[in-house]
Structure formats: structure tokens, C-alpha cells
Amino acid sequence: MLKGKNILLGITGAIAAYKALELIRLFKKNNANVKVVVTPNALNFVTKTTLESLSQNPLNIEQFNISEYKPEHISLTDEADIFVIAPISANTISKIALGISDNLLTSTFCAFKKPVIIAPCMNTNMWENPAIIENLKILKQRNIKIIEPESGFLACGSYGKGRLQDINIIFEEVKNTLIPNQFLKNKKIVITAGGTKENIDAVRYIGNYSSGKMGIALADNAHKLGADVVLISTINTEGKQYKVTNVQTADEMFSAVKKEFKDADSLIMAAAVSDYRVKNKSEEKIKKNGSSLILELVENPDILKEMAKIKKDKQIVVGFCAESSDLIENAKQKILKKSCDFICANDISRKDTGFSSDYNELYIIDKKLNISKIEKTHKQIAALKILEKIYGKN
């Protein structure tokens, strides 16, 4: 897949430096030529022998290699197609943002004019430090691709954002940068995300636990693959390079979907849409009066079913099915009832996938009831596999 591509991998003194070993393995497995440059502190976490054994190239540490009579940082920039720094520490982020070139890695960055991808790793408080935030903004403005860390348990024992992003995500970003895949070019794809909220009164609502991560991952990947994306979401998202329409209720989502679906190639309903809304919601906060409160609920429109009814021959409609039991059987019944083209089914009873998790395991069922499985993986990877399945690219 990456045959003939020259990848320069930078590793800094971050606790997740050992994960770079798996990244080298993935690059080599896909036939890339890999050279590694490290900061001196990186060798506190990974060894020279291991890095050279996996990359099958000498490790680059010193600023100048006198025996070869050439500035090493210039030599590395000439040979490489891409510079990937994973993990990159807060210290190195700040240095490269300011143009400081006090070691081989930072000097190489300063001289590098081809694509650069960085994957930060640090404590949550460091990630949220105003100086780091500003330095990342500087790098982003200079077209440095930043793969943000994920949330989880950190080496310091706390929980928060700062853990190095999944290695498979980093690999996919590098692969897509080196070999852009644009099989969705000229396709308009409408995607819904998040859980709708149905007001009870001025402060309360009926909702669900959907985080919107799966829908947003689908939108991100569809955009990277060249699609004209419209994300209709209950989750506020900033900085996206595609159109985002924010909604709250099922009715609002229905109106937005109908408007955008008219000239769309496909609709992916990843949102968790409330089945019911309160018939007589109160515009004021309902006060407690010592007696029971009875809410009368009425059905919301079935957006997936309605869109499947009006879709044109070449339009594709994809639904999601979140179940706590009898996953496959319920998914089969849903695709028959809704008349959509595909159903993506996931088990919400599991704690390691589904709602709020960064990971998912899914079954994709088509209208002929053929079943394919996406094993547990990061939602960004799962999103890519779903899009490939829908458009017959796998």
C-alpha cells in the first residue's frame, strides 16, 4: 500500500513513546521505508536497538553526522515524503511553533517543506494550558495536521484528554495524506449525529445517552474522502471544514434532513432520534406541588422510514440500530420495516463500545439481509469501513 513511500518518524520524550514501535510496524507491514529521528529524551522510553531493528535503518539522534559530511537534518528532509511526529510532547510543540532548533528533530522540522503530521501526548492540564493551546493554533495555521489526543486514563493516574490517539488512526491519517483516496468526490452525503432532546418545560427535556461520536466520525471521514458533507447534529461542533446544521428536537432534525436530502446521494442516520415528544410542553418551569406529574407523549416522525419512502433510485439511505438484546434479529426487522438500504447495528449493553465510547463494534446488514461485521475498533476507523461498505470499496 505504501510501497515507494519514505516516512520520517519523529519520537519525543513522552510516556507513550513505546507506542511508536507499533506505528513503525504498521508502516513496514505496508512496505514503506521508515527512518526514525528522536530527541535525546525519547531514549529514556525506547531503545536505539529496538528502533533500528524495527525500522531496519540507522537511528538519527545527533545534529550532525561528521562521517557522512552532510548536515543530517537537511539530508532527512530531502529523502522523506512526510514527517510524522508521534508522540510529540508539550515541550517539542512549543519549540517547533517558535522555530527553536536545538536538536536534530526540531532542526529537521524547521527545514521540512512537505506534509507534517503531529500526534500530541501529555497530561490533561498541560493539554489545556493556554500556551500549548496557542502554540497548536500557530501550527494549525501553518497547515500542520494535528491528530488530537483521546480521553482516557493517563500515566499520571488521572483521567482526561491527553492520551496518544489510537495508532490505527495515526496510520490512516498518514496513509490518506500520502495516497489521497477520493472515492466520494462529487457525492453529497447528509449525516445525522447526537441524541435529540424533547422539551418537557423551560429547563427539562427527554433525551438519551448518544454522544454523537459515531456520526461526527462518519462526517469527518466522508469529508476526507472528497464528499460534500452536511452534518445535522445535536452536538455543537466547531472548526469543521464541512457544513454543520445544529438542531435539538426530532422535528427540527426532520425538517433539516428533508431540506438537504433532496439533492443528496446518500443519507446516514447515525443520530439517536427520540421516538416520542411531550404533547403539551410547558413554556415555564413546572414547579413541584407534592403530587405526581403525568406527561402525555405523542410519537415523533420516523425520519429514517420517511426518507426511505421518498428516496430516488440512486439515493442510498442508511440507518443505525442500537439494541440491548437480540441485536441481529432486531436489526433485520428494522431494515425490513424501514425499507432502507443498510442498517448498522451495535450493542449498547456493552460498556466498552457504543454510547460515549470512542470505540464501536458493528454489524452492517443490507436489504438482502447479508451481514458483515466490523470488529471492535476506534469509531474513526469504523466510520471509514462503513463508508467503504456502503460504496462497495472493501
**Rounded average pLDDT per 10-residue block, the chain, 394 residues:** 93 95 97 96 96 95 57 74 97 96 94 95 94 96 94 78 93 92 93 96 93 95 95 92 96 97 97 94 90 92 95 95 90 94 90 83 94 93 94 74
Q: For residue 71, what pLDDT is reported?
A: 52
Burial degree of 257 (CB within 10 A; 0-12, 13-18, 19+): buried
> How far is the CA of 377 from the CAs of 179, 220, 388, in angstroms?
22, 16, 15
344 is catalytic: no
Grid cell listed for 326: 437480540
Q: For residue 69, what pLDDT is reported?
A: 45
Q: Which domains does the chain have, with CATH numbers?
A: 6-178 (3.40.50.1950), 188-390 (3.40.50.10300)
What values do phi and psi take at 23, rounded to 5?
Answer: -65, -40
Amino acid identity for residue 260 in this structure: E
Residue 98 to residue 205: CA distance in whole angstroms: 47
Catalytic residue among 110, 121, 156, 344: 156
> How far is the CA of 135 from the CAs of 125, 128, 129, 361, in angstroms?
15, 12, 10, 36
**CA-wise closest residue to 2 among 23, 29, 22:** 29
Q: How many CB atoms lie within 10 A of CB 146?
A: 18
Q: For residue 65, what pLDDT is reported?
A: 52
- Secondary element (H or E) of residue 188: strand 188-193
DSSP state for residue 327 in the 8-state scheme: H
- Listed in sequence order, the residues at least 6 apart from 247 whose beta carbon sits closer than 8 Å to its beta carbon are 196, 232, 233, 234, 253, 256
Q: Are strands 297-299 and 276-278 parallel, antiparallel or unpaired?
A: antiparallel
> How far is the CA of 286 from the CAs of 88, 197, 248, 249, 251, in angstroms?
51, 17, 20, 20, 23
- Secondary element (H or E) of residue 235: none
Q: For residue 66, what pLDDT is reported?
A: 43
